[in-house]
Amino acid sequence: MRLKIVTVGEPVLRRPTVRLSKKQLLSSSIQDLIEHMRETVRDAPGVGLAAPQIGESLQLAVIEDKAEYHKLLSKVELKERGRKPVPFHVLANPTLELLTEPTEIFFEGCLSLPGFTALVPRAKRVRVTCLDHRGASRVIEASGWYARILQHEIDHLNGLLYIDQMETHSFSSLENFARHWKNRSPHRPC
With a cut of 90, say whether residue 73 has pLDDT above it. no
Catalytic residue among 10, 56, 153, 175: 153
pLDDT of residue 187: 55
In the chain, where the domains are located: 11-181
Q: What is the pTM of this model?
A: 0.94
Active site residue 39: no
User: Which is more confident, 2 or 189?
Assistant: 2
Confidence label for 178 from pLDDT (cuts 50, 70 and 90): confident
In CATH, 11-181 is 2.40.160.20:
no
pLDDT of residue 184: 67
Spatial separation of the C-alpha atoms in residues 155 and 19, rounded to whole Å: 14
